[in-house]
Structure 1
Amino acid sequence: MTESVRPARIGILTISDRASSGVYGDESGPAIRSTLEEILTSPWEAVACIVPDGLESVRDAPVDLVDQGGCDLVLTTGGTGPAPRDLTPEGTEAACERMMPGFGELLRRRSLEQVPTAILSRQTAGIRGKALIVNCPGKPSSIRVSLMAVFPAIPYCIDLIGAARLETDRTVVQAFRPT
């Protein structure tokens, strides 16, 4: 008998005052989705939402995506810089039970290979229940670079916390799982 695989639920959370109010269209959320479509071979479904910048909205959205939406992974985009309303790291930390600082370290290191202003980024990651929450950059062209950097560790991380299994296209991203 073949065991059925539960599709992973992946939250794609765009954090932007202007995109949430309709001043311009969201390009970052679709960039995350496009990169996931390239990387993943296992079944998954996206749960996308857009919220304004600010501590409460950024804290509450991942909590809802995980607790009510059943997401195994939440990828945020936007709000990680030094501007006064860029509170994504603070909101992420408030939503998480444990922080995973290595993700932010790698994201900054990889971004610094592209632009010197990457040092201004405050991206982080953490765990809420059986879900991993990772802050991605807000610039659509930087999202793929960032996800390619951290995705080798994401499937094993969510295995360890009990989330749905993710498989990657090994020609795109080689997920690392110790034997």
Structure 2
Amino acid sequence: MRWKVGLVCASDSGSRGEREDTSAQVIRELVEEELFGELVDYQVVPDETQDIMAAMIEMMDYYQADLIFTTGGIGMMPRDVTPEATLKVIERQTPGFPEAMRYAMMRKSGAGMLNRATAGIRGKTLIINLPGTPEGVHECLSAILDQLPRALRALTGRGGDHLL
């Protein structure tokens, strides 16, 4: 069985059609080739808490996504609100994923500590915030990709009771 994956790109300029989301292709490739997942929904929304939340909730409730990635909006700019939107949607945090991503980023540059990404669970869906650049997405996903199947099996009940 393939994992159902949703993707939310938080970008004011992208939502207006002024900028192409180049991170989406990196995610698509890694999801299909490494995670054996299927992208079931993809939305580009403005950097607005309510819009980001609505996109995630739709992916969970309508598409029954097992995993949702967000891209963009995790920095320190005033309009970067993706972590706040995620925290309003999730029921439980999973701090290991953003910690691993920040560690991987900081090995290359101290700027990795400016990454405010979060991750968590709502129902049986795992949500993970990723950077908005293809390089950042690749670096962060590479840091956590090997543990995603284990997490998804545990979360969805498709892998036994004890996976840790």
Is this a same-fold pair by TM over 0.5? yes
Secondary structure at the aligned position of 1:113 is classed as helix
Deviations 1:41-100 (A, max 9, x none): x45344211111021112221111111111010011100001111001010111111111
**TM-score after normalising by structure 2:** 0.91
Q: Distance in 1 between matches of 2:76 and 2:42?
A: 25
Q: Indicate yes or no: 2:35 matched with 1:19.
A: no
Shift of 1:156: 1.2
The counterpart of 1:120, out of the listed 114, 117, 130, is 114
Match of 1:77 among 62, 71, 79: 71
2:130 aligns with 136
Q: Partner residue of 1:29?
A: 24
Distance 1:129 1:82, change over 3 A: same
Given the superposition, is the C-alpha separation of residues 93 and 43 from structure 1 closer, same or farther in structure 2, using an over 3 Å criterion? closer
Question: Which is worse superposed, 102-111 or 155-164?
Answer: 155-164
Look up the match of 1:38. Answer: 33
Paired position in structure 1 for 2:49: 55
Unaligned 5+ segments in structure 1 are: 166-176
- Which secondary structure state, in structure 2, belongs to the residue aligned with residue 103 of structure 1? helix
Aligned residues: percent identity?
Answer: 35
4+ residue segments displaced more than 3 Å: none
Equivalent runs, 1:62-101 vs 2, <5 Å: 62-101=56-95
Secondary structure at the aligned position of 1:76 is classed as: strand
Counterparts of 1:148 and 1:26, CA distance in 2: 19
**Offset from partner CA, 1:126-161 (integer Å, 9 cap, x none):** 001111000111111121121111112211111111
* Structure with more of its chain in helix, by fraction: 2
**What RMSD in Å do the two structures reach over aligned CA positions?**
1.9
State the alpha-carbon separation in 2 of the partners of residues 152 and 28 from structure 1: 20
SS at match of 1:160: helix
Pair 1:145 & 2:139 matched: yes
Matched residue pairs, number?
A: 162
